[in-house]
Every structure is written in structure tokens, then in C-alpha cells.
């Protein structure tokens, strides 16, 4: 049914997310019909309802119907176009297909809302999702009350667990200072909330002698703490970290109530076993391992989590001191693991967390929560956030704010994690210092790079566009920077920067073939994070990108050598810049030649079309190549017979989006490649593609390296 228009009716399960492109929501489907016949579709579908101009055959005819005012629990009937759950696949990248699988979503769709389509209909309000509806109305009240959008987004994140309105710039600051966990409803959050709730319940319980006779205050506090924390987790969206924390807290609390006094390793293992039994995919999530190790460290160092209630009698000051100590212990012990999972650890994180955790958990969150009852407290919460942001921005500006390292293999990382745990364990000091040498392998690890004379190509899976990373022994070049997805997101921010980070790559050169947005969309983000990179391109001298980095024109004849690998530009000619040309015609064509044992050539050609191909052939340019980046994503305007006869590639790569609207690569064009016996790989089937000139026989597909049962099998 993919690509067909299906009439479905179903209930909106959660509060919809609105962004500049439109509305996104999840629908629990009750019925579906295709051409009047009932059909079966996946029970949960992620639906997008986009605003904007409606186009028919490339002609913009009428404004598309604007998204309606959807509320959680409403039943709607609408015509949608279904799509299999397909995400981009990159080395160590985010697995979108797993994320959907965990949420039970097995299709995505968008609403057909053109003027010719039947209008989406609201059928009724059901009461099947009361918590989501309540969250939605609280979120609306926050936005109505708090004028500054930045603060409103953060308050909504803390109260109803909706992080979508947090600015990208703010996220960068949070990540750089290692406090991103504070604005999501994390395990730490829920645990803190449970502590506070337990303390309050115990305090109230002790007021009544009769209640204490009925149930000891300590037990009441345990029960109350867990129940209230669960209620808070539900209200904040019942996210996966919150679910795990509630399960862990409940397990520990039940053990205590049953009177069992198990040694801590057993308690720890039981809590984690319960989590994995309920959600087996937790094992694949970085967050699970972080909290698993964090809880273990807290147990091992005999800190508070092991006895959430025992410390109730202690004074506030000693409780705060203990909390700070725990924070310090967890941060140190988790640093190697964070580095392993995210390739980045915040050096200033300790300072940032030492102040931000108490500030957010003791001041901002209580104010934000109390604002639900007394809205003007949200203004105070906004003020408290402003103070925090000032402090964090100041910290993030430090030159050594974050340490990034290449992602090491797991056995090195395991040694690092052990080292971190040893450093904070309750052992004699000289034994703790044994943790230091265990940390060294992770810190000194270098990702494998091609030897001198050889090069590596990595075509990132960025959807419809081009982005190919070329690395030699000590240099790196990025050929194009992928598309822009929306106002807020692009391939640079979403795919290329994380990729450069896990590979620990500093770019010497960003080469932008031409100015089309599927090639330069990610460029601003890449330029911002790679200040040393030079820019070579065919973009005009007055292009917006020139203000970010001065660009030099690519001109045929330019050539350079890096580590025994030769790079040369074959197109465009200097004269081409003197008369107006369509952007595609100016695409920079790059030839790369290895000088190792088997000399291998790659040809990256951007979006050149038949005319440019024929000019190159006529000029007898050195086109022959082993690997060719298929021109213009396999469009019918390119890959002419004469060009293919001149290049004679062994392998050809198509970088295109899954079911992209241009129909790239065109079947007739692919036929030309097949007739010549050329092996073709495309990004929808292959994910990221990797190839090295010193083992040139095959392209490595990221999708086939790790094919899982939740992965989309592209037909």
C-alpha cells in the first residue's frame, strides 16, 4: 500500500507536535479503506500534516489545506499516503527505524490535504488518552502565559516532557556543557522527584500517630515516593528513560518493603533485569547503559540511591553535600562511557552540573511545576532559566568545553569504563589510581585511516543530495554537504557533524559542487563547527555562504596532492564563470587518484548534465575511473552513453532519497549502467557507502553490515 492514498480513521494518541512545516502526530488506527475496500494497515502510524503550497506536476496551484487543531484523544478520518518506516543509516548514527519499532510504529504517512482531496474530518472526542489531553492543555497554557518562546519551550520540556520547542542553539549549549540530560525527563529527574516526594510523604505521615500505627512512615514514604514519581513520569510523557527509572525504583522499593536485605550487586542486577525483561531493546540504547552504570556506581560507592529513605532524617545541608558528592562520583565514573557512546564528553560538565543540577531540580522544576496551579510562577521559572542560560553560555564559550574522540572499539571502551569505576570505587587510594592506566587506551585510540598513497570514500546517507567524505592518511575533504530538511534541520547538523565527530575528522577542505540546496543545505552547520576548513566551490561571489567563509572558485586545472593521493578539478572552465549558467552546469568535477600498489580513481561529478558530460568527453579529460558518483542522482538528464563509455566505472554510487519526489534514480538510466556490467549502489538500499582504494573490490553498505529485524528491507 506504500505510496497509495488510504482513507484511515483513528485516535490521536499523544499531543501533536507543531513546527514550521506543519503538524506531526501518532494515530492509533481503527479502520482503513483503499478504493472503498477495507484493508489492514499497521495499528500505529506516525502522520505528518504539512502546510504550504500544493503542487501538481511541478506547478504550484493552490494553498494546501492548513493543519487542523488536533487534540489528543480525538478520532479523525483522513486520506493519507503511507510510507514504510525508513531512516538514514550512517556509521554510529541514530537508528530511526529502531526508534519507531520501540514505539510500535510501523508506518509513516502524510495527510493528502490538497484542494482536490476529501477534507480531513474530526469524528469525535474520546477519553482514551486523558493524560495526553491534560498535558496538551498544560502546554498550551504555558505557551499562552510565557511570552519568551525560548523559556516557554524549556518550561514545557520540564513540566510535560515536550522537548520539541527547545531551540537548536540552546541544545548546542546544553550538549557542550554536558547538561542536556537536565532538560529531558531523565532518570536523574525522576529519582530526584521520588526523593522529594518520599521526604514529603514521610513528613506528613509522621503528623498522624494513627497513620504511623497503620504503616510505618518509612514504608509509606517508599510507597508514596514511587507512586508519585510514576505519576510524574506519566504526566511528563512516559518516555523510555522515565519508564526505566520507575521500574528500577519500584523494584528496589518492593525489595525493601518485603524485608529482604540483599547485597547491593544483586539489587542492582535485579533492577536491571526487570527493565530488560519489560523492554528488551533497552540493551541497544545508550541511555540504558548510562543509567545502568550510574546506578551501579552509586550502589558501589554507597551513595543515596541504595537507600532513598534512610537518609530522610539527615539535615538539609548534609543531604545537599551528599547529593553533590554523588553527582561528582557519577560524572567521573561515566565520563569514559559517555565518550564511548557519544564520542564526546564535556570537560566543563562537572562545573556546569555541580550548579545546574541543584538549580534545575530545586529551583526551576518546582517553580515550573507549581506554575500549573499558579501561572505567574512560570515567570519566576523563566527568570531562573535566564540566569542558568547566562552561566552555561559563558561555560560553553571556553576553548576546551568539550573533548571529542574517535569512537573506540568496545573492548577498549570497556577497559575505560572499568577505569572510571575503579577511580571512584571505595578502595584504598593507591588501588583507585590503577584506574588511570585503564583509561589511556580510550584516550589514545585513533580510528584507522588509509595508509599513505591510498584514500577512503564515505558517501553519507543524507537522503536526496550529495555528501561524500574523502579521507587520506592525514587529510580530509567533504564533497558537498547534503540537503536542508526544514528551517530547523539539515544534513550538516543531523548527519555530517555527528559523523565527523565519531570519526574524529578535521576537514581541510569543504568542496561545494554547486549552489543547489541538496548540495549546500548542510554547509553552514559544517562551516560553523569546522573553522579551519577552506571552501572551494562554484557558488557566486555574492552568495550568502560567502559571508560564512570566503570561497574560492573551482576551476579545471586546479590540482593538489595529499599523502600521495592526487586531486584534480576537471570542470568547470574559468570562462564558464563569465557568462550566466544554470547551477548544475557549473558543478565542480573532482578526480581523485591513489598512487598506492593498485592505482585507483574516483570521480565525483555533482549534478553535471549531458552537455557538460559531452564537453568533458570531447576535451579528452581524464575521466576513466573505478568509482563514479552517478551524476545528478541518476536523473534522466545525465549519465549519457558517451560519458559512461569514457568513464568505464566498475562501481557507481547514487546518492538519492528513499522514494524521493524526483523519481531518482530513473530506471532507464540505471539500465544503461546495468548493460555495461557496472555495479550500482544507492543510498536507500545501502545506507552510507564506504570504499577504500587499498581494498577496491567492494563497497561496504552500512545497511548490510548491521541488518536487524526492525530494519526496513527496501524492496
Which residues contact Zn ion by CB under 5 A? 518, 607
| Nearer Cβ to Zn ion (336/606) | 606
Least Å distance between CB 632 and Zn ion?
A: 6
| Nearer Cβ to Zn ion (456/607) | 607
Question: What is the chain's alpha carbon radius of gyration, rounded to the nearest angstrom?
Answer: 28
Least Å distance between CB 607 and Zn ion?
A: 4
| Nearer Cβ to Zn ion (518/576) | 518
Least Å distance between CB 135 and Zn ion?
A: 41
| Nearer Cβ to Zn ion (24/610) | 610
Contacts 24+ apart (CB under 8 A), 142-151: 142/371, 142/378, 145/371, 145/375, 145/378, 145/379, 146/378, 146/379, 146/382, 148/382, 151/381, 151/382, 151/385, 151/386
Least Å distance between CB 518 and Zn ion?
A: 4
Q: Are 547 and 523 in contact (CB under 8 A)?
A: no
CA distances (Å), origin 280, targets 190, 244, 250, 600, 713: 21, 11, 18, 45, 22
Euclidean distance between CA atoms 361 and 189, whole angstroms? 7
Q: Are 385 and 179 in contact (CB under 8 A)?
A: no
DSSP labels, 566-600: EEEEEE--GGGGTS---GGGGPPEEEEEE-SSS--
> Which DSSP helix (H) or strand (E) runs through 691?
strand 689-692
| Nearer Cβ to Zn ion (191/612) | 612
Least Å distance between CB 87 and Zn ion?
A: 21
Euclidean distance between CA atoms 428 and 425, whole angstroms? 9
| Nearer Cβ to Zn ion (464/711) | 464
**Other residues' Cβ atoms within 10 Å of the Cβ of residue 73:** 22
Q: Are 339 and 403 in contact (CB under 8 A)?
A: yes
Least Å distance between CB 423 and Zn ion?
A: 50
| Nearer Cβ to Zn ion (138/512) | 512
> Which DSSP helix (H) or strand (E) runs through 345?
strand 344-346
CA-wise closest residue to 183 among 219, 211, 140, 150: 150
Euclidean distance between CA atoms 349 and 306, whole angstroms? 25
Residue 479 neighbours by CB under 8 Å, 6+ apart: 466, 467, 468, 469, 470, 511, 513, 590, 604, 629
Least Å distance between CB 659 and Zn ion?
A: 17
| Nearer Cβ to Zn ion (88/346) | 88
Least Å distance between CB 424 and Zn ion?
A: 51
Least Å distance between CB 588 and Zn ion?
A: 13
- Neighbouring-strand partners of residue 49: 23
DSSP labels, 292-335: HHHHHHHHHTT-GGG-TTGGGGS-HHHHHHHHHHHHHHHHHHHH
Euclidean distance between CA atoms 676 and 508, whole angstroms? 36
| Nearer Cβ to Zn ion (95/518) | 518
| Nearer Cβ to Zn ion (480/702) | 480
Least Å distance between CB 484 and Zn ion?
A: 12
Least Å distance between CB 479 and Zn ion?
A: 12
3-class SS at 501?
helix
- Neighbouring-strand partners of residue 22: 19, 50
| Nearer Cβ to Zn ion (111/670) | 670
| Nearer Cβ to Zn ion (518/702) | 518
| Nearer Cβ to Zn ion (587/594) | 587
CA-wise closest residue to 6 among 28, 54, 38, 52: 38
| Nearer Cβ to Zn ion (518/613) | 518
Least Å distance between CB 587 and Zn ion?
A: 9
Q: Are 83 and 107 in contact (CB under 8 A)?
A: yes
Q: What is the dihedral of CA 36, 41, 47, 50, to 10 degrees?
A: -30
| Nearer Cβ to Zn ion (518/563) | 518
Q: Are 487 and 18 in contact (CB under 8 A)?
A: no
Strands of the sheet with 534-537, listed across from one edge: 551-553, 534-537, 509-512, 476-479, 468-471, 456-459, 689-692, 695-701
Alpha helices in 312-466 (DSSP H): 316-342, 349-358, 365-370, 377-396, 410-424, 429-432, 435-444
Least Å distance between CB 461 and Zn ion?
A: 15
| Nearer Cβ to Zn ion (104/663) | 663
> Which DSSP helix (H) or strand (E) runs through 275?
helix 264-278
Residue 584 neighbours by CB under 8 Å, 6+ apart: 514, 516, 606, 607, 608, 609, 612, 632
Euclidean distance between CA atoms 113 and 689, whole angstroms? 36
Least Å distance between CB 526 and Zn ion?
A: 17
Least Å distance between CB 483 and Zn ion?
A: 8
Least Å distance between CB 645 and Zn ion?
A: 24
Chain centroid to CA 52: 26
Amino acid at each position: 500500500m506504500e505510496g497509495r492514498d488510504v482513507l484511515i480513521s483513528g485516535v490521536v494518541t499523544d499531543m501533536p507536535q507543531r513546527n514550521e512545516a506543519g503538524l506531526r502526530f501518532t494515530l492509533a488506527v481503527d479502520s482503513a479503506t483503499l478504493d472503498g475496500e477495507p484493508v489492514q494497515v499497521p495499528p500505529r502510524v506516525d502522520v505528518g500534516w504539512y502546510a504550504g503550497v500544493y503542487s501538481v506536476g511541478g506547478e504550484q496551484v493552490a494553498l494546501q489545506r492548513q493543519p487542523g487543531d488536533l487534540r489528543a484523544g480525538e478520532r479523525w478520518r483522513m486520506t493519507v499516503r503511507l510510507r514504510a518506516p525508513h531512516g538514514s543509516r550512517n556509521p554510529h548514527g541514530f537508528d530511526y527505524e529502531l526508534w519507531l519499532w520501540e514505539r510500535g510504529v510501523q508506518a509513516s504517512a502524510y495527510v493528502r490535504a490538497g484542494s482536490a482531496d476529501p477534507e480531513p474530518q474530526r469524528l469525535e472526542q474520546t477519553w482514551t488518552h486523558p493524560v495526553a489531553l491534560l498535558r496538551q492543555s498544560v502546554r498550551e497554557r504555558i505557551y499562552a502565559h510565557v511570552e519568551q518562546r525560548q523559556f516557554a519551550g524549556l518550561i514545557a520540556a520540564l513540566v510535560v516532557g515536550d522537548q520539541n520547542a527547545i531551540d537548536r542553539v540552546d541544545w548546542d549549549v546544553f550538549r557542550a556543557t554536558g547538561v542536556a540530560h537536565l532538560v529531558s525527563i531523565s532518570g536523574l529527574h525522576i529519582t530526584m522527584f521520588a526523593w522529594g516526594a518520599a521526604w514529603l510523604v514521610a513528613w506528613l505521615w509522621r503528623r498522624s500517630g494513627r497513620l504511623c500505627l497503620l504503616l510505618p512512615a518509612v514504608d509509606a514514604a517508599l510507597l508514596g515516593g514511587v507512586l508519585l514519581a510514576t505519576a510524574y513520569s506519566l504526566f511528563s510523557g512516559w518516555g523510555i528513560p522515565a519508564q526505566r527509572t520507575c521500574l528500577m525504583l519500584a523494584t528496589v522499593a518492593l525489595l525493601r518493603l518485603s524485608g529482604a536485605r540483599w547485597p547491593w550487586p544483586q539489587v542492582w542486577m535485579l533492577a536491571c533485569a526487570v527493565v530488560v525483561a519489560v523492554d528488551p531493546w533497552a540493551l541497544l540504547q545508550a541511555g540504558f547503559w548510562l543509567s545502568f552504570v550510574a546506578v551501579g556506581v552509586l550502589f558501589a560507592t554507597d551513595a543515596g540511591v541504595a537507600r532513598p529513605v534512610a537518609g530522610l532524617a539527615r539535615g538539609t545541608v548534609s543531604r545537599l553535600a551528599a547529593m553533590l558528592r554523588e553527582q561528582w562520583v557519577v560524572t567521573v565514573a561515566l565520563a569514559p562511557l559517555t565518550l564511548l557512546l557519544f564520542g564526546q564528553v564535556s570537560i566543563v560538565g562537572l562545573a556546569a552540573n555541580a550548579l545546574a543540577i541543584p538549580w534545575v531540580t530545586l529551583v526551576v522544576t518546582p517553580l515550573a511545576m507549581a506554575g500549573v496551579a499558579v501561572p505567574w510562577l512560570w515567570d519566576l521559572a523563566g527568570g531562573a532559566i535566564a540566569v542558568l542560560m547566562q552561566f552555561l553560555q559563558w561555560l560553553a564559550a571556553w576553548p576546551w568545553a568539550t573533548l571529542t574522540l574517535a569512537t573506540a572499539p568496545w573492548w577498549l571502551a570497556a577497559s575505560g569504563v572499568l577505569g572510571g569505576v575503579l577511580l571512584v570505587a571505595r578502595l584504598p587510594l593507591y588501588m583507585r589510581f590503577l584506574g588511570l592506566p585503564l583509561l589511556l587506551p580510550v584516550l589514545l585510540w585513533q580510528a584507522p585511516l588509509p595508509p599513505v598513497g591510498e584514500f577512503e570514500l564515505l558517501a553519507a546517507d543524507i537522503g536526496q543530495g550529495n555528501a561524500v567524505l574523502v579521507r587520506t592518511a592525514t587529510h580530509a575533504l567533504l564533497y558537498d554537504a547534503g540537503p536542508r530538511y526544514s528551517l530547523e534541520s539539515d544534513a550538516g547538523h543531523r548527519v555530517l557533524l555527528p559523523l565527523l565527530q565519531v570519526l574524529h575528522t578535521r576537514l581541510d577542505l569543504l568542496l561545494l559542487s554547486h549552489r543547489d540546496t541538496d548540495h549546500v543545505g548542510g554547509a553552514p552547520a559544517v562551516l560553523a563547527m569546522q573553522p579551519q576548513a577552506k571552501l572551494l566551490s562554484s557558488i557566486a561571489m555574492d552568495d550568502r555562504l560567502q559571508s560564512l567563509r570566503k570561497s574560492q572558485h573551482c576551476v579545471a586545472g586546479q590540482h593538489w596532492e595529499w599523502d600521495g593521493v592526487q586531486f584534480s578539478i576537471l570542470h568547470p572552465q574559468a570562462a564558464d564563470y563569465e557568462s550566466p549558467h544554470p547551477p548544475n552546469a557549473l558543478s565542480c568535477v573532482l578526480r581523485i587518484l591513489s598512487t598506492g600498489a593498485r592505482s585507483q580513481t574516483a570521480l565525483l561529478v555533482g549534478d553535471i548534465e549531458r552537455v557538460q558530460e559531452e564537453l568533458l568527453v570531447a576535451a579528452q579529460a581524464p575521466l576513466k575511473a573505478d568509482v563514479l558518483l552517478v551524476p545528478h542522482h541518476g536523473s534522466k538528464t545525465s549519465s549519457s552513453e558517451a560519458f559512461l563509455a569514457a568513464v568505464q566505472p566498475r562501481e557507481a554510487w547514487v546518492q538519492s532519497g528513499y522514494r524521493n519526489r524526483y523519481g531518482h534514480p530513473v530506471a532507464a538510466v540505471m539500465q544503461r549502467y546495468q548493460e555495461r556490467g557496472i555495479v550500482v549502489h544507492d543510498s536507500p538500499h545501502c545506507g552510507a557507502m564506504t570504499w577504500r582504494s587499498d581494498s577496491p573490490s567492494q563497497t561496504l553498505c552500512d545497511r548490510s553490515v548491521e541488518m536487524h529485524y526492525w530494519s526496513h528491507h527496501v524492496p
